[in-house]
A = this chain, B = another copy of it.
């Protein structure tokens, strides 16, 4: 690692990207003073308004947790195991072998600073040292940034992460580069600064670099204002479209960003939920699951890499969160980025929430310590396997309910086939040519299936007086029939100056989250979808 590091360059100076606001954050003089004197022995320190630790009412916390290997590492062994299957759906009592650790009030040797005296006190924005250091090691190992002096910094989840990035990089009214479909809450976060978003076309692997180049090269500042300098991307299990970008594509996109001096915000909550290709039930039954014999290290290396892996300049700000693999309520995540951006983002934290909640951070620290870092990676693999099973049986339900035809678009899709769903031929044969009901690409990562429903002209004609788009009308029909998806228009910038507004009367898009659905409800969902499509499309 260190010899490799010697060959990497440090981040280049990208400070010209900072907004007026971003430049204006100041270090708190009190905090600077504390840093200057905090370690002098014998000094009587009366500068801090910190309360006395002996008056904290919580004296100790015993944490009971699952072992890191609580879940099978591969979906194969999961789905072949009847006892596992029962446990997975709560049909039999779970039989975890819980681990237990205690966060004590008083500091003790070897507690790694994970005590309540420390954790419940004011802490610097960086958070508890042990957790910050463990996360830093893990990020280095998992993401392997291509420059030497990257930093990590804890935050309180990726919403906070994106919001802080906007505070330091975006001027009011700026235009942000987004993917064809953009995570709804990322759009909402742009509202306070009246940010506009443009959408760059995607294929089955995500954002298209040539489309990005085209858009940037053709940008006329005299008409459209300042050319965008910040891109928001969810490159793995894209929210909402479920696409995942491989190394080669990332390199191509990165090169365009370097050419046009774009900062890349990589929002990557589903990174460790890379499920791999969907194989229909019958195929799964007769083939071995790839990765069944992988070591944890091999598994980690097999994942589509982070943008950091191609970032030789420090122009990527990556945000991770523990939400999808530990728990969202912990409100904990981290930035991996250049020293420049890390410092500015730390300053933003100082005047907002400060350090992440100390109790939650200490509990995460205890968990990581008990598990060890290798155990943590094994845990990630288990969670990934669980969601892979969920992905599989949800897509199975679509296959079972509809006639699904896989159309391999090109060689390069590598199996990320577009699936076209038709009504089953069950006596209700439609007149004339067989019409596709919807399309989807089985996701290789993340929690979402993204359906595209094409509305034929006669429907557009029938509802042309409706205030609602066909997308929302169909969404309402689905809700009335008992299932609620997220409608596609949530994931499209439709505000002031919007340039890329889809025609929601031509196509409807629906994001289905499969994270909570049972196999029975998955089948029921597919059936409701089927019935509602027939109803809605009835000529």
Contact = CB atoms under 8 A, between A and B. Distances in A.
B46 A386 contact: no
Interface stretch (A63-71, A410-418, A420-428, A456-464): A63-71
A140 interface: no
A199 B350 CA distance: 23
A101 B47 CA distance: 36
A131 interface: no
Interface stretch (A78-86, A223-231, A307-315, A520-528): A520-528
Given A37-B479, A58-B65, A26 B188 contact: yes
Interface centre among A47, A172, A390 (most CB of B within 10 A): A47
A182 to B, nearest CB: 12
Interface in A21-75: 21-22, 24-30, 33, 37, 42-52, 54-66, 70-71
A356 interface: yes
Contacts of A393: none
A51 B323 contact: yes
A28 B485 contact: no
Nearest to A103: B61
A116 B363 CA distance: 13
A77 interface: no
Nearest to A480: B43
Given A46-B517, A47-B513, A353 B188 contact: no
Contact of A328 (B121, B239, B490): B121
Given A66-B59, A329-B123, A352-B160, A184 B30 contact: yes
A157 B54 CA distance: 20
B64 A59 contact: yes
B24 A193 contact: yes
Contacts of A525: 44, 46
A57 B379 contact: yes
A521 B46 CA distance: 10
A59 B71 CA distance: 14
A324 interface: yes
A37 B479 CA distance: 9
A89 B358 CA distance: 25
A484 interface: yes
B24 A192 contact: yes
Interface centre among A20, A51, A525 (most CB of B within 10 A): A51
A58 B63 contact: yes
Contact of A479 (B43, B48, B184, B383): B43
A119 interface: yes
Interface in A344-373: 348, 350-360, 363, 367
A192 to B, nearest CB: 5
A482 interface: yes
B57 A367 contact: yes
A64 to B, nearest CB: 5
A448 interface: yes
A501 interface: no
A352 B353 contact: yes
A199 to B, nearest CB: 17
Given A51-B328, A351-B192, A66 B57 contact: yes
A134 interface: no
Contact of A353 (B28, B326, B353): B353
A61 B63 contact: yes
A163 interface: yes
Contact of A49 (B44, B59, B189, B513): B513
A268 to B, nearest CB: 14
B485 A46 contact: yes
A55 B353 contact: no
A301 B121 CA distance: 29
A120 interface: yes
A538 interface: no
Contact of A515 (B51, B185, B486): B51
Contacts of A280: none
B328 A357 contact: no
A357 B330 contact: yes
Interface of A: 20-22, 24-30, 33, 37, 42-52, 54-66, 70-71, 90, 96, 98, 116, 118-123, 156-157, 159-160, 163, 167, 172, 184-185, 188-189, 191-194, 239, 323-332, 348, 350-360, 363, 367, 379, 383, 386, 390, 447-448, 479, 482-486, 490, 511-517, 521, 524-525, 528
